[in-house]
Amino acid sequence: MYPVIKGASYILVNTPDMVIHNGTTQTLERETHPDSEYLKKVPQHLRKFEDVVAYAPNQTYIGNLDPEELRKIEMPWYKKNLDKASRWGRYGEIMPED
């Protein structure tokens, strides 16, 4: 008997807390300038989970949008959230941090 792969899927995980607490730049900044404006502003620049789900390249990655459809969407993509985007796709899902 031989092992067989019967299925596979993709996953994207939105981890804003990891960026804040474990990102290389943030870790170094915390060590050298613990009260810096940069550290105070990092949370303001992280996407909400709903925005991560609605981001067209993420929808393409999990199989809800074809690459050809993605090419038709005007860039920059982060300014154009998709309506009715789903966290579940044909190839996997987008997971929230919690």
Say if 26 falls within a structural domain: no
Measured CA to CA, the distance from residue 23 to residue 44 in angstroms comes to 15
51-93 confidence digits (pLDDT tens): 999 999 999 999 999 999 999 999 999 999 999 999 999 999 9
Say if 90 falls within a structural domain: yes
Say if 5 falls within a structural domain: no
pTM across the whole model:
0.81
Phi, psi dihedral angles at 37 (to 5 degrees): -65, -35
Say if 85 falls within a structural domain: yes
pLDDT at 11: 85
Measured CA to CA, the distance from residue 6 to residue 98 in angstroms comes to 28
pLDDT at 78: 94
Say if 38 falls within a structural domain: no
Say if 67 falls within a structural domain: yes
pLDDT at 34: 96
Find the domain containing 85 and state its range: 10-16+46-95
Say if 83 falls within a structural domain: yes
pLDDT at 10: 80
Measured CA to CA, the distance from residue 75 to residue 4 in angstroms comes to 41
Measured CA to CA, the distance from residue 61 to residue 94 in angstroms comes to 10
pLDDT at 9: 82
1-44 confidence digits (pLDDT tens): 899 999 888 889 999 999 999 999 999 999 999 999 999 999 99
Number of domains present in the structure of the chain: 1
pLDDT at 45: 94
